[in-house]
Amino acid sequence: QVQLVESGGGVVQPGGSLRLSCAASGFTFSNSGMHWVRQAPGKGLEWVSFIMYDGSEEHYADSVKGRFIISRDSPKNTLYLEVSSLRPEDTAVYYCVKGAFWGFVSWGQGTLVTVSS
């Protein structure tokens, strides 16, 4: 079955950077678009970014555009999210999600990013 395991979260100071990773298994990663979705503590879901199955297109929410970069390494079945110029409002659980045009097919368990001095 589909398995998505996120890693790389942690505590970082405002203005800092992290690289989140998502190890995918149980499906043909190279055939699937992938999303990152985040959820601030006690808040709702927020779509962050999407990358096409072949990496040919990337799309971002306005709130992260210019600060976050999504990428993928299909031979390694791994999705990445480089997060930089972090702000306290970026504090959230970041979910890796197997995608479709209609939305979000399968979710990982998430990795927590805390932006605090």
Partner 1 sequence: QSALTQPASVSGSPGQSITISCTGTSSDVGAYNYVSWYQQHPGKAPKVMIYEVSNRPSGVSNRFSGSKSDNTASLTISGLQAEDEADYYCSSYTRSTTWVFGGGTKLTVL
| Shortest reach from residue 109's CB to partner 1, in Å | 6
What HEC string does the chain produce? Answer: CCEEEEECCEEECCCCCEEEEEEEECCCHHHCCEEEEEECCCCCEEEEEEECCCCCCEEECCCCCCCEEEEEEHHHCEEEEEECCCCHHHCEEEEEEEEECCEEEEECCCEEEEECC
66 is a site residue for partner 1 (CB under 8 A): no
Which of residues 41 and 75 has its CB atom nearest to partner 1 in the complex? 41
Among 2, 5, 61, 69, binds partner 1 (CB under 8 A): 61
Q: Considering only the stretches 18-26, 57-65, 69-77, 78-86, report the one whose residues sit in contact with partner 1 under the rule CB under 8 A.
A: 57-65
82 is a site residue for partner 1 (CB under 8 A): no
100 is a site residue for partner 1 (CB under 8 A): yes
Interface residue list for partner 1 (CB under 8 A): 35, 37, 44-47, 50, 57, 59-63, 95, 100-110
